[in-house]
């Protein structure tokens, strides 16, 4: 099989995370000898962007129509229609846990939800370290990418018990193809993807920056044991669990804009300015941060989210609320910092208690990150540093507007 030079660079970027003492022993020469890979090295590779970028580069250069295995070709054609697989890789979160279980509730090195695109993929790096202990760096990277492709394949399958065996067979077939082709092209090791751009010092900075971002992502990712009573909410399209950091402690001290003190329910992202709906600052929650954006918060007391829907009396005003169409009128709505409606107190900023549930109507204007959402969320834990663990669900999404 003839493969062009571009394909030989497909997994290049991912190896950069291994270049900063990722393997115990430190002497990474790029040879074929086995190394004592550490659990931390796998965590960094999975939680950073190295592995994902390598996988996406592989797909970009993959000559799908020349794949001889008809089953694998059809799988790739289905998954790559309209760049769907690339979007799935980009959106999916890679989580580290010792409790990865498959659909049969068996512990596995990796697992995900069948038939749910964008759902988290769980990796048991402790188990993987044991499996990969006699492999060299190149083989580890190929194996890990192959395993990730295996789990992404499940996102495109039907969660039918009668098809479990066939689903697994197809996923194994596709991941096996990735493993064979990746090995065949003899992937180059431990090099910057654009070696001609900038001095070695800059390359080292880029490598360290990837590690920092990976560590920040781990810091922001909730521990499953902290929300074991709310697992059904986690990482769904219209619900989730997230950790939010106090702005006064972490802003300007992390690479992520806003220091993890903001969260967007629509985009499920902590980056400030990316459709942010809620902020934690000075032990208070608030909504509405720039331009015409605003939000109204209301306490529903210490109740369970399962008990709440759009008929709750405190949500009636938020559900029926109509954002204005012109900027002068929008500014009037925005200026209502604290008020009472139907016996309930609404405000843009509020104190909170652990176990308390809030309703939020968050209105963000604009073409790019505009949104209009009604959500409810419950504060289930506060950490020693003041960070909060929050579980939430969407009640209603309304059409977004521009502020003109």
Query: HEC string of 190-214?
Result: CCCCCCCCCCHHHHHHHHHHHHHHH
> How would DSSP label each residue in 12-78?
TGGGGGGGTTTEETS---SSSS--EE-HHHHHHHHHSSHHHHHHHHHHHH--GGG-S-HHHHHHHHH
Which pLDDT belongs to residue 213? 77
Q: What is the mean pLDDT of residues 140-154?
A: 91
Is the pLDDT reported for residue 361 higher than 50? yes
pLDDT of residue 207: 66
Residue 8 has pLDDT above 80, yes or no: no
> Per-residue confidence at 54, pLDDT binned at 50, 70, 90?
confident
What is the token pair recorded at 55? 């996988």
**Model confidence pLDDT, tens digit, residues 115-134:** 999 999 999 999 998 888 87
Give which of 291, 241, 266 is closest to 362, Cα–Cα: 266
Structure confidence at residue 369 as a pLDDT band (50, 70, 90): confident
pLDDT for 194 equals: 39
Please compute the mean of the pLDDT values over residues 80-105 and round it to a whole number: 88
pLDDT, residue 23, reads 28
269 CB burial (10 A radius; 0-12, 13-18, 19+): middle
DSSP string, 89-140: HHH--EEE-S--B-TTS-B-SEEE-TT-TT--EEE-HHHHHHHTTT--HHHH
3-state secondary structure of 364: strand
pLDDT the model gives residue 13 = 31
More confident residue, 73 or 211: 73
Q: What is the mean pLDDT of residues 234-240?
A: 82
Give the per-residue pLDDT at 55.
85
Report helix, strand or coil for 356. Answer: coil
304: confidence class by pLDDT, cuts 50, 70, 90: very high
Q: Of all helices (H) and strands (E), which one includes residue 143?
A: helix 137-154
pLDDT on residue 5:
38
Q: Tokens at residue 31, please?
A: 């040879």
For residues 316 and 204, the model is more confident at 316
pLDDT surpasses 70 at 193: no
Nearest CA-CA partner of 291 in 399, 369, 346, 396: 369
Q: What percent of the chain has pLDDT over 70?
A: 85
Report the alpha-carbon distance of residue 260 to residue 221 in Å, rounded. 11
Burial annotation 238-254 (CB, 10 A radius, 16+ → b, else e) = ebbbbbbbbbeebbeeb
Q: What is the rounded CA–CA span in Å between residue 212 and residue 240?
A: 25
What is 287-315 written as a DSSP string? ---STT-EEEEEEEES--GGG--TTSHHH
Give the chain's mean pLDDT: 82
Contact (Cβ atoms closer than 8 angstroms) between residue 292 and residue 324: no
Do 120 and 93 contact (CB within 8 A), yes or no?
Answer: yes
Is 248 in a helix, a strand, or coil?
A: helix
Q: Where are the beta strands (DSSP E) in 77-131?
A: 94-96, 110-112, 121-123
Residue 323 above 90 pLDDT?
yes
Domain ranges of the chain: 5-213, 222-398
The arithmetic mean of pLDDT across residues 157-167, rounded, is 85
Task: Look at residues 136, 38, 49, 148 and name the one whose alpha carbon lies nearest to residue 100.
Answer: 148
Asked if pLDDT for residue 309 goes beyond 50, the answer is yes
Q: How much is the pTM? A: 0.56
pLDDT value at residue 248: 95
- The DSSP element (H or E) to which 339 belongs, if any, is strand 338-341
pLDDT bin (cut points 50, 70, 90) of residue 375 is very high
Residue among 296, 311, 220, 230 nearest 258 (CA): 220
Token pair, residue 393, equals: 């669900």
Q: Read off the pLDDT of each residue in 92-100 and give the average, rounded to a whole number.
A: 91
Split at pLDDT 50, 70, 90, the class of 203 is low
Instruction: Decide: 266 and 274 in contact? Cβ < 8 Å.
Output: no
pLDDT the model gives residue 318 = 97
Q: What is the pLDDT of residues 167-190, one digit of tens each?
A: 999 999 999 988 887 654 433 322
Helix (H, G, I), strand (E, B) or coil at 378: strand
What's the confidence (pLDDT) of residue 2?
A: 37
- Indicate whether 147 pLDDT > 50: yes
**Best-predicted range by mean pLDDT among 43-57, 137-151, 193-207, 328-342?**
328-342
Longest dimension (CA), the chain: 73
Residues in the chain: 404
Confidence category of residue 294, pLDDT binned at 50, 70, 90 = very high
Round to whole Å and give the CA distance between 358 and 378. Answer: 6
């Amino acid at each position: 099989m003839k493969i062009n030079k571009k394909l030989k660079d497909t997994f290049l970027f991912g190896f950069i995370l291994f270049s900063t003492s990722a393997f115990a022993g430190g002497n990474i020469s790029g040879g074929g000898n086995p190394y004592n890979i550490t659990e931390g090295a796998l965590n960094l590779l999975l939680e950073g962007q190295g592995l994902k970028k390598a996988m996406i580069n592989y797909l970009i250069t993959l000559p799908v129509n020349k794949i001889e295995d008809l089953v694998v070709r059809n799988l790739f054609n289905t998954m790559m229609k309209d760049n769907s697989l690339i979007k799935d890789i980009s959106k999916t979160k890679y989580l580290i846990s010792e409790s990865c279980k498959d659909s049969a509730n068996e512990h596995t090195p990796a697992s995900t939800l069948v038939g749910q695109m964008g759902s988290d993929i769980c990796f048991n790096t402790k188990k993987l370290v044991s499996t990969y202990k006699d492999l060299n760096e190149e083989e580890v990277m190929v194996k890990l990418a192959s395993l990730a492709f295996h789990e992404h394949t499940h996102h495109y399958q039907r969660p039918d018990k009668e098809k479990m065996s066939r689903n697994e067979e197809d996923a194994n077939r596709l991941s096996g193809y990735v493993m064979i082709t990746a090995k065949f092209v003899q992937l180059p090791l431990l090099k910057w993807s654009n070696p001609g751009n900038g001095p070695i010092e800059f390359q080292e900075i880029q490598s360290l920056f990837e590690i920092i971002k990976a560590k920040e992502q781990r810091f922001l990712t909730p521990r499953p044991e902290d929300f074991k009573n709310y697992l059904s909410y986690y990482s769904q399209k219209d619900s989730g669990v997230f950790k939010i950091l106090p702005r006064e402690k972490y802003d300007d001290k992390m690479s992520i804009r806003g220091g993890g003190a903001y969260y967007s329910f629509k985009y499920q992202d902590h980056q400030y300015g990316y459709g942010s709906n809620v902020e934690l600052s000075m032990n208070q929650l608030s909504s509405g941060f720039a331009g015409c954006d605003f939000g109204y918060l209301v306490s529903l007391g210490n109740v369970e989210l399962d008990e709440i829907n759009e008929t709750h009396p405190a949500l009636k005003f938020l559900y029926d609320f109509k954002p204005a169409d012109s900027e002068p009128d929008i500014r009037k709505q925005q200026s209502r910092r604290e008020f009472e409606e139907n016996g309930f107190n609404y405000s843009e900023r509020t104190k909170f208690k652990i176990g308390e549930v809030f309703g939020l109507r968050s209105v963000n204007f604009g073409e790019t990150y505009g949104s209009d959402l009604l959500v409810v969320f419950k504060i289930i834990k506060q950490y020693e540093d003041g960070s909060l663990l929050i579980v939430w669900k969407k009640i209603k999404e309304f059409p977004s507007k521009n502020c003109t």
